[in-house]
Structure 1
Amino acid sequence: MLLLLVAMTGVAPISLYMLVPALPELARVFGRDISIAQMTVSLYMVGLAFSQLIMGPLSDRFGRRPVLLAGLCLMVLAGVGSIFAETLPQLIAARFFQALGGATGMVMSRAIIRDLYPRDRVGAMISLVIAVMMIAQMLSPLAGGLLETGLGWRAILYVITAASLAVIVGIAVLLPETRRVSDNVSGAGFVADVKVLTGSRAFIGYLLCYVIASWIIFTFAGGGPYVVVTQMGRTSAEYGAWFATSGLAYLLGNLCCVRFAPRRSIEHLIWFGLTLQLGGALLNVVWGLTGLNQQPAWLFLTHMIVMFGNAFVMSNSAAGALSIRPQSAGSASGMMGFLQMGLGALCSQFGAWLGGNFATPVPLNIALVVLSCGCAACMVLLVPRGGAVATEELIEKVEEEDTGLL
């Protein structure tokens, strides 16, 4: 089950990163500007965002398994189309539909975890899936570069399509329907689910905490290259090596979350992560104001603290949001993914603006402090005190109100 969850979660983002090293070759082969070739990535991210908003509610109504198989079948068909694309617009369109189908696995894995595990284990399982997936995701650009160099850029598309097909076979053979039969039709549908979920302060608090924490990653990723290459005068290769430390810290954070989760509540783990996240961000501002942040080591080694804490915040706030109304876990997961990916792209652009228009990394670091404070504010102002007990009582209250409305 763990391998299936990792495979269905990772097939879409790994497919995204595998093609990135081949973008210059795509521009050369099709005789287009690199910015046009970049649309194979940017529109792919748009597809990931909107698909999650659609597939999540569909899985609440029709079940996880049929929606998951249908989405991944679309990914395979779009993969075949990308292989035989003769123009760059055709390839861009095929990649967009690939993302629409592949995102099904991302949104469904969170819902399936909530179906299978009690509330206090959801965060640990999400962390475990992310930790394993991170390893594959960090290696995917290297694999894409080797394939493009040795066999040509279309070899990447062949591998992506074959991997998608393998995931479908694994799901068809090994994955049962995890949605309870009695819950397959969720009340009055998506609109009613959204109304009830958004009417819960706890859900909004966990949701915003998760989404804002993810924006920290996007903002730093957007501004980091400009800070290291433009402001510090280092090479792109050196930036890539330093940026890998952020991924390593995030991976270690998820592994530690798996270890600590059985002995601590979701709320305790979130606050532990928030403390590290805010503390690391504040330290980076201090280094910047004292001039130490002009060395990559000061910037990234401190940012590792931020990313280590970020892993605790994201996995456990996701667990809290999914547990407010378990029978609507698909809709909740879809909303999380849509806000994360959709607005994350804007945060990446904002981070790039901060890195490219200032002479020091201080503005970028201040933005991370503000986002960290936003995560903490969501927990303080919106999530009830008392942790799991208060949230479980809220579930019953919300269900009673929903029944009365219907």
Structure 2
Amino acid sequence: MPPCATWNAGRWDIVSRMRIPPQSAAFVLLLGAMSAMPPFATDLGLPALGTIAGSLHTSAGMSGLTISLFMAGFTATPLIYGPVSDRYGRKPVLVGGLSAFAVASLLCALAPSIATLLIARLLEGAGAGAGITMAFAIVRDLFSGAPARTRLSMVTVVLNTAPVISPTVGALILTFAGWRAIYGTLAAIGFLVVFASLFGYRESRDRQTIGPRGSLVAGYRRLLGNRSCVGHFLIYGLSFGSAFAYISGSSLVVITLYRASPTEYGLLFACTALGIVFGATLNGWLSTRRTHRLPMLPTGLAGMIAVTVLLTLLALSGPVRLPVLVPLFFLVTFSFGIIAPNASHGTLEPIPEIAGVASGVLASFQMLCATVASTLVSLLFARFGLSAVVGTMLIFAIAAGLAYLAVPRAALSAA
């Protein structure tokens, strides 16, 4: 064998050894890391907003735009990443998008002015959208049925651990290394996930289906023409809007209304946010047990609607003690943890050929609902207080329930 052939064979043998088996827990962690980029990049920098304003000689409002522009970049790009990955494969989109995220994070760390930082954050959000979009699509490429629901539950667990730990980690980094180190940490994480995706993930999109078959518009037309897909992605986004109304308004409720300290707030927020993790873990465990017959999606929706109705009635009846609210908020996030894997599975399962399109719609609609919910809470809180938060939660929960009624019964029975 020629020396060059021997070298090439050895090189590909090393690469093949680095591949992460899709059935392994390490592969789930990789998928979770891909999808956790948006919440991690959003929440890690929250403790540093005031410091950034002072360091770059700008206002608190301008530093707050670092969150808004990141979310703006993230909201739109999954709609592009999805169909592009259906045509050209998941890996190029994944590696390209996360590389952009890592480079933009590095630019944030080095930004000499608030204008540069804001531009870099917009690009960072645009790159982050690739990770969560491809994670959903990759699961559908490799799994279907109960195994897919199990993996989506596991990804939901990893994905929703990030918002719980990010503010605390960000505060520690800020204390010991300054705000620029926060974005440097994001850059390091981004490059690490790019490396793991480049060598650990083998293209999951069937090569026979990659190519210029149909237009971008045709993919979206097919998705929107499928009642099951539409109903499930509406359930996913609207139920997330209900949970996010609490997430976005939690500091207003706990700190402003109940005068809790930031430390107490962080502890209470972690307890309630972990509800998503527990709900998704339970759903994943039940998905592996063929003996269980509990319909998880309607159970999660019923739980969310019932708890948000109770929260609204309590808020309208007069002052509510914080120890009463916290368990109820936990039950809302717990319900979403059950809903999320099943609703995302219901969106992806019927259309494996355009799973990228479906994943893009899932990610973008989720962020759209989160933006609307947080905006409503912000606009109404000054006048209505707690009722603004729980009322918004109730509106989105009922809307998710109505979306469930629109899903064909055959699709629900097959789930």
* Counterpart-to-counterpart distance in 2, 1:4 and 1:266: 30
Counterpart of 1:272 in structure 2 is 299
1:149 pairs with 146, 165, 175, which one?
Answer: 175
Q: Which consecutive unaligned segments of at least 5 residues does structure 1 have?
A: 392-406
Counterpart of 1:281 in structure 2 is 308
Higher deviation after alignment, 84-93 or 367-376: 367-376
Higher deviation after alignment, 4-13 or 258-267: 258-267
* Counterpart-to-counterpart distance in 1, 2:139 and 2:294: 19
Counterpart of 2:402 in structure 1 is 377
Counterpart of 1:368 in structure 2 is 393
Question: How much does 1:186 deviate?
Answer: 6.6
Aligned AA for 2:100? Answer: L
Say if 2:288 is the partner of 1:262: yes
Aligned AA for 1:144? Answer: G
Counterpart of 1:244 in structure 2 is 270
Question: How much does 1:336 deviate?
Answer: 1.4
Higher deviation after alignment, 162-171 or 277-286: 277-286
* Counterpart-to-counterpart distance in 2, 1:39 and 1:189: 35
Query: What is the SS of the residue equivalent to 2:230?
Result: helix
Say if 2:141 is the partner of 1:97: no
* Counterpart-to-counterpart distance in 2, 1:151 and 1:171: 29
Question: How much does 1:203 deviate?
Answer: 1.3
Higher deviation after alignment, 62-71 or 113-122: 113-122
Aligned AA for 1:184? Answer: I
Instruction: Indicate conservation of the 8 Å contact 2:154/2:281, yes or no.
Output: yes
Aligned AA for 2:173? Answer: L
Deviations 1:291-312 (A, max 9, x none): 3x52112122112111111111
Query: What is the SS of the residue equivalent to 1:306?
Result: helix
- Give percent identity, aligned residues only: 28
* Counterpart-to-counterpart distance in 2, 1:284 and 1:49: 30
* Counterpart-to-counterpart distance in 2, 1:163 and 1:229: 31
Distance 1:235 1:146, change over 3 A: closer
Deviations 1:71-109 (A, max 9, x none): 112122222322321111101111211111122011100
Question: How much does 1:388 deviate?
Answer: 5.6
Aligned AA for 1:297? Answer: P
Instruction: Indicate conservation of the 8 Å contact 2:98/2:128, yes or no.
Output: yes
Counterpart of 2:197 in structure 1 is 171
Q: Which consecutive unaligned segments of at least 5 residues does structure 2 have?
A: 1-26
Query: What is the SS of the residue equivalent to 2:111?
Result: coil
2:58 pairs with 29, 32, 46, which one?
Answer: 32
Matches within 5 A, 1:275-354: 275-291=302-318, 294-354=320-380
Deviations 1:1-58 (A, max 9, x none): 1121122111332122211211111100111111100111110011111111111111
1:65 pairs with 81, 91, 95, which one?
Answer: 91
Question: How much does 1:390 deviate?
Answer: 5.9
Question: How much does 1:225 deviate?
Answer: 2.8
Say if 2:71 is the partner of 1:49: no
Distance 1:333 1:186, change over 3 A: farther
Instruction: Indicate conservation of the 8 Å contact 1:123/1:266, yes or no.
Output: no
Instruction: Indicate conservation of the 8 Å contact 2:39/2:162, yes or no.
Output: no
Counterpart of 2:30 in structure 1 is 4
Distance 1:186 1:328, change over 3 A: farther
Aligned AA for 2:153? Answer: S
Instruction: Indicate conservation of the 8 Å contact 1:27/1:36, yes or no.
Output: yes
RMSD of aligned alpha carbons: 2.1
1:111 pairs with 137, 142, 165, which one?
Answer: 137
Distance 1:267 1:326, change over 3 A: farther
* Counterpart-to-counterpart distance in 1, 2:322 and 2:58: 34
Counterpart of 1:208 in structure 2 is 234
Higher deviation after alignment, 143-152 or 266-275: 266-275
Q: TM-score, normalised by structure 1?
A: 0.90
Distance 1:134 1:223, change over 3 A: closer
Question: How much does 1:389 deviate?
Answer: 6.3
Instruction: Indicate conservation of the 8 Å contact 2:133/2:356, yes or no.
Output: yes
* Counterpart-to-counterpart distance in 1, 2:130 and 2:398: 31
Q: TM-score, normalised by structure 2?
A: 0.88
> How many residue pairs were aligned?
388
